[in-house]
A and B are shown apart, each in its own frame.
Chain A
Amino acid sequence: MYMLRALDIYKSFDHLKVLKGVSLTVQRGEVIAIIGPSGSGKSTFLRCLNRLETIDRGTIEIEGEIMVQNGPDGRAVYSGEKEIALIRRKMGMVFQNFNLFPHKSVLENLILAPVIVNRVPREEAEKTALELLRKVGLENKARNYPFELSGGQQQRVAIARALAMNPDIMCFDEPTSALDPELTGEVLKVMQDLAAEHMTMIIVTHEIGFAREVADKVIFMDEGIIVEQGKAKEVIDNPKHERTREFLSKVLRV
């Protein structure tokens, strides 16, 4: 059974057409890497999946539940706020700039949403949070504030915070792009561990090597469409399309 299905997604900002019919099906436990040049619509697509952006046309279903589909006039119609809230709860999101809450300690960052959104008792939430921090190697930073951590550590906290809501799908938008090169490894390692546990993941990334090793499937996007998709190693080692080849040769050269 598929975990997430996006069908023929269209999205414009004013007159700028950013997504021009993007479709993607994600199976349970699958790791998808989305690559492509800057401005090709990767982030926008990811953000549409959890309704940080609203789409103009198309269907998005998560675990069989419809978040949005086309109405009779061919324009996207969203389901009710309550249903959407429930659907979105299945998805975790990790941002390029971490977006931790600076006024909250690491532990508080992790328990905030479980306690006030899911009404988990505080002690239980703390216990889970500490386990998650151990998992990302930061159990000794629970009482620290985000500004006291390195970028890599902050991003690992952000991943743990998303996991604290017990999501079925994790979305990552260039999780290592804001990091110094020597700090990307620790974050990629955490993501690799998640993949090994069969977490379903959709990862927008410029880390081609990581995508090749960890992803099951690679999606190459350019100018608002999916140009090529397939098994990670096949797409990266033997791209079929000229645009994919061009892009890969450019990023692999640097």
Chain B
Amino acid sequence: MDYVLKLLPHMLEGWKTTLSLFFLTLILCLPLGTIMGIARISKFKPLQWFMEFYVWIFRGTPLLLQLLFVYFGLMTVGIRLERFTAALLAFVLNYAAYLAEIIRSGIQSIDRGQYEAADVLGLTRFQTMTNIILPQVFKRVVPPIGNEVINLVKDSALIYVLAISELLRVAKTAVMRDETFVPFIMAAVFYLFMTAVVQQFFKWVEHKFDYYR
């Protein structure tokens, strides 16, 4: 118990890094992913192709590789990013790709009649998107986005390869140094806590959308 208390401040330090990555990624990739999802079905073909290519690259390669690529790859061409910035960049680009796919399929799941009804009422394409389509898309994408956010909690551990002291790395260092398994258990508790909060939050959001079908 004493050991747990002694280690806790370090773990909390690591947790802070994990949380910053988590929240910054979310804040940045939600709008970005939404825009990309719309661009993915744009009438402007080159944009559509570009987005298809983008999604293919970022969903088709391991996030771990993308992390290394952004940090070391950019370094070889002379761009030196802070390790955390590089990690954040890779995460945002990666998660935006997944979100874009979710938003795209959400948009495409909306009945054509909704566009036609808006059209005959004189709404512009932009007004239709913001007033009619996207609000309905958001309801439908809450569950799949919830899954991605849970993944994000767990994927945040990957940034240990850039030697960033996030939760898992702190735990691993302590395990090696003190020859005890306890830090891993503590890390597990932290992750379980985060995923539980995320799950509850998304349940609440889903419930908020219950007022219509």
Are A and B associated in one complex?
Answer: yes
Residue A252 at the chain B interface, CB threshold 8 Å: no
Binds A, one of B44-52, B59-67, B114-122, B163-171: B114-122
Residue A165 at the chain B interface, CB threshold 8 Å: yes
Alpha-carbon distance between A80 and B121 when the two chains are bound, in angstroms: 18
SS class, residues of chain B in contact with chain A: helix
Residues from chain B with a CB closer than 8 A to the CB of A88 are 120, 122
Residues from chain A with a CB closer than 8 A to the CB of B116 are 52, 93, 95, 99
Q: Report the number of A-B residue pairs with Cβ-Cβ less than 8 Å.
A: 58
Residues from chain A with a CB closer than 8 A to the CB of B211 are 145
Alpha-carbon distance between A89 and B123 when the two chains are bound, in angstroms: 10
Residues from chain B with a CB closer than 8 A to the CB of A95 are 113, 116-117
Residue A50 at the chain B interface, CB threshold 8 Å: yes
Interface size bracket, A side = 20 to 34
- Which of B117, B132, B211 gathers the greatest number of chain A CB atoms within 10 Å? B117
Residue A101 at the chain B interface, CB threshold 8 Å: yes
Residues of A133-166 contacting chain B, CB below 8 A = 145-147, 161-162, 165
A103 with B117: CB separation less than 8 A: no
- Chain B proximity of A139: nearest CB distance (Å): 21
Alpha-carbon distance between A112 and B127 when the two chains are bound, in angstroms: 10
Residues from chain B with a CB closer than 8 A to the CB of A113 are 121-123
Closest to B115 in A: A99
Residues from chain B with a CB closer than 8 A to the CB of A100 are 117
B212 with A165: CB separation less than 8 A: no
Residues from chain A with a CB closer than 8 A to the CB of B119 are 52
Residues from chain B with a CB closer than 8 A to the CB of A162 are 120-121
A161 with B121: CB separation less than 8 A: yes
A93 with B139: CB separation less than 8 A: no
B113 with A97: CB separation less than 8 A: yes
Residues from chain B with a CB closer than 8 A to the CB of A102 are 136, 212-213
B120 with A117: CB separation less than 8 A: no
Residue A91 at the chain B interface, CB threshold 8 Å: yes
B113 with A165: CB separation less than 8 A: no
Residue A92 at the chain B interface, CB threshold 8 Å: yes
Residues from chain B with a CB closer than 8 A to the CB of A52 are 116, 119-120
Residue B31 at the chain A interface, CB threshold 8 Å: no
Residue A16 at the chain B interface, CB threshold 8 Å: no
Residues of B102-155 contacting chain A, CB below 8 A = 111, 113-114, 116-117, 119-123, 127, 131-132, 135-136, 139
Q: Mark B54-76, 1 if CB is under 8 A from A, else 0.
A: 00000000000000000000000
Residue A254 at the chain B interface, CB threshold 8 Å: no
Q: Mark A64-94, 1 if CB is under 8 A from B, else 0.
A: 0000000000000000000001001101110
- Which of B111, B119, B121 gathers the greatest number of chain A CB atoms within 10 Å? B121
Residues from chain A with a CB closer than 8 A to the CB of B132 are 101
Residues from chain A with a CB closer than 8 A to the CB of B212 are 102-103, 145-147
Residue A1 at the chain B interface, CB threshold 8 Å: no
Residues from chain A with a CB closer than 8 A to the CB of B120 are 50, 52, 88, 91-93, 162
Alpha-carbon distance between A101 and B114 when the two chains are bound, in angstroms: 7
- Chain A proximity of B208: nearest CB distance (Å): 12
- Chain A proximity of B76: nearest CB distance (Å): 49
- Chain A proximity of B160: nearest CB distance (Å): 42
Given contacts A97-B113, A102-B212, A145-B211, contact A165 B139 (CB under 8 A): no
A116 with B131: CB separation less than 8 A: yes
Alpha-carbon distance between A88 and B120 when the two chains are bound, in angstroms: 7
A85 with B139: CB separation less than 8 A: no
Across the interface, B213 reaches (CB within 8 A) one of A91, A112, A147, A161, namely A147
- Chain A proximity of B184: nearest CB distance (Å): 45
Residues of A85-136 contacting chain B, CB below 8 A = 85, 88-89, 91-93, 95, 97, 99-103, 112-113, 116-118
A117 with B213: CB separation less than 8 A: no
Alpha-carbon distance between A102 and B135 when the two chains are bound, in angstroms: 10
B131 with A112: CB separation less than 8 A: yes
Alpha-carbon distance between A70 and B14 when the two chains are bound, in angstroms: 71
- Chain B proximity of A128: nearest CB distance (Å): 14
Alpha-carbon distance between A47 and B113 when the two chains are bound, in angstroms: 12
Instruction: Return the 9 tightest CB-CB contacts between A and B, nearest first.
Output: A113-B121, A99-B117, A99-B113, A93-B120, A147-B213, A117-B122, A145-B212, A103-B212, A103-B135
Which residues on A are within 8 Å of B, measured CB to CB?
50, 52, 85, 88-89, 91-93, 95, 97, 99-103, 112-113, 116-118, 145-147, 161-162, 165
